């Protein structure tokens, strides 16, 4: 039986509804890891360093997809909860068409700016050339990447999380197969890795458009869209936390690269790249749960079912806490094998990467609560609070930590910055949850 947003959620039903989103996000992160594996092992450390060096810039440009996806998801689910399906479908259509056009414009500008940005961040010689090469090819698929990000949220709102998972798997397998072909078998190098990513993004963006444009059994369908300035403003402000997270994470990534170049040279950037690949696999489980549970929260908020809202929040905090402990244990256990997988060919780089893993794994004990907390307030259509949590977690706290801690602890201080920022973010999240409980009745 299909689970509906209007259902009363037990632990079992909540997990069944969110697991497809969790798997979807984990799978998305894994095929990103496959990119890194092929580049590192078949093209070389220099190319792998370039991919990780320019990636924060590329993620900033794609951040608008997160904003429209999460902000729009919350508004559409709330509108469905209020019983206005016609308006919900009009909003859905607008929030698919507009980001695609914006994505094309941003991609063109990004292609021209990738060189100056890489140079400004400190890239020189081969690192600069490789960063420009990979970035320009990657940006060709940016409009489709933004659609792919949006639909990861919209499929859940449409009560079709399993279909969203299936399309993500298809897109991911496409990327993996083409990586093996273009990089492992054919001598296409960085261009091959970027082309594999672009094709997978096109697959992940176009298939959902075809599904929603036709008559379907979901709650949503693409059709005529009315330009609603108020709804668009509300979507952007409410989704600003996810945009802020993406931008902050990318800017902080640039700062981490700058600091690691200073303390460890290009090997430090390569080690950080491995950590970010694997870190995202673990973090994606928390993100997947947040994405999967957000429409439930928005629907019940719109329907004014405060008892159910309170129940979902309580159950979610229990689930996130258990996941956090399991992620920490798994992170410590997999530190050595994951480092070996990427940089086993370089003993000194291997040791640097392993130590980073062992330290950063402690962040998994805290990150889940902050990620869910930010998503929770987005789902309640409280963009400002969500944005504050995201900005502090992925921006201010990390910037302060990564500038100060290395002065005392060297490279270990850089790794500890991740842990310190998550601890502070949890304290802020708890403060907001306690402070807003009367307003929302949870």
Q: Provide the pLDDT for residue 259.
A: 84
pLDDT at 350 over 90: no
How many Cβ atoms from other residues are within 10 Å of residue 435's Cβ? 10
Residue pointed to by tokens 């308006």:
87
Residue 177: pLDDT over 80: yes
pLDDT at 141: 93
User: Residue 329, Cβ neighbours under 10 Å: how many?
Assistant: 13
DSSP characters over 111-122: HHHHHHHHHHTT
Q: What's the pTM value of the predicted model, to 2 decimals?
A: 0.71
pLDDT digits (tens, 9 = 90+) for 51-90: 878 887 888 887 777 778 777 777 888 888 788 888 888 9
pLDDT of residue 357: 87
> Cβ neighbours of residue 160 under 8 Å, at least 6 residues apart?
218
- State whether the Cα torsion 197-378-154-232 is positive or negative: negative
What is the predicted pLDDT for the residue at 278? 79
Return all residues near 78 (Cβ < 8 A) that are at least 6 apart: 298, 299, 301, 302, 381
What is residue 432's predicted lDDT score, i.e. its pLDDT? 94
Structure tokens of 76? 């559409």
Instruction: Tell me the average pLDDT across 273-283.
Output: 81
Average pLDDT over residues 326-350: 84
Cβ atoms of 370 and 425 within 8 Å: the answer is yes
pLDDT for 200 equals 93
Per residue in 180-238, pLDDT tens?
A: 999 888 888 889 989 999 999 999 999 999 999 998 888 888 988 888 888 888 787 77
- Model confidence at 241, in pLDDT bands (50, 70, 90)? low
């Amino acid at each position: 039986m299909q689970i509906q947003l209007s259902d009363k959620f037990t632990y079992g039903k909540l997990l069944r509804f969110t697991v497809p989103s969790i798997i979807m996000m984990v799978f998305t992160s894994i095929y990103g890891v496959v990119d890194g594996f092929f580049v590192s092992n078949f093209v070389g450390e220099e190319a792998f360093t370039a991919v990780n060096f320019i990636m924060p810039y590329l993620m900033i440009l794609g951040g608008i997809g997160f904003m429209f996806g999460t902000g729009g998801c919350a508004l559409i689910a709330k509108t469905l909860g209020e019983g206005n399906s016609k308006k919900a479908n009009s909003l859905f259509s607008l929030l698919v068409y507009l980001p695609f056009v914006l994505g094309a414009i941003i991609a063109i500008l990004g292609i021209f700016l990738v060189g100056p940005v890489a140079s400004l961040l400190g890239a020189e010689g081969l690192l600069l050339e490789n960063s420009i090469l990979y970035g320009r090819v990657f940006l060709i698929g940016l409009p489709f990447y933004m659609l792919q990000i949006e639909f990861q949220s919209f499929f859940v709102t449409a009560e079709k999380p399993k279909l969203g998972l299936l399309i993500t798997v298809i897109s991911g397998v496409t990327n993996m197969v083409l990586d093996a072909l273009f990089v492992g078998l054919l001598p296409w190098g960085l261009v091959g890795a970027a082309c594999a990513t672009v094709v997978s993004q096109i697959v992940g963006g176009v298939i959902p458009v075809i599904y929603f444009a036709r008559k379907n059994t979901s709650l949503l369908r693409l059709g005529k869209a009315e330009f609603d300035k108020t709804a668009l403003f509300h979507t952007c402000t409410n989704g600003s936390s996810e945009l802020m997270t993406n931008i902050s994470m990318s800017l902080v990534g640039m700062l981490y690269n700058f600091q690691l170049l200073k303390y460890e040279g290009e090997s430090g950037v390569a080690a950080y790249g491995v950590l970010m690949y694997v870190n995202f696999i673990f973090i994606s489980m928390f993100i997947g749960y947040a994405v999967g549970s957000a429409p439930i929260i928005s629907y019940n908020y719109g329907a004014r079912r405060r008892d159910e809202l309170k129940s979902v929040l309580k159950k979610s905090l229990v689930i996130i806490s258990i996941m956090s402990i399991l992620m920490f244990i798994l992170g410590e256990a997999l530190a050595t094998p994951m480092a070996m997988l990427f940089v086993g060919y370089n003993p000194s780089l291997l040791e640097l990467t392993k130590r980073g893993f062992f330290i950063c794994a402690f962040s998994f004990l805290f990150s889940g609560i902050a990620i869910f907390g930010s998503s929770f307030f987005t789902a309640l259509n409280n963009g400002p609070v969500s944005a504050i949590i995201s900005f502090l977690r992925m921006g201010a706290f990390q910037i302060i930590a990564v500038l100060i801690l290395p002065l005392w602890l060297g490279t270990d201080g850089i790794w500890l910055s991740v842990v310190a920022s998550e601890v502070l973010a949890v304290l802020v999240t708890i403060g907001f949850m306690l402070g807003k409980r009367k307003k929302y009745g949870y």
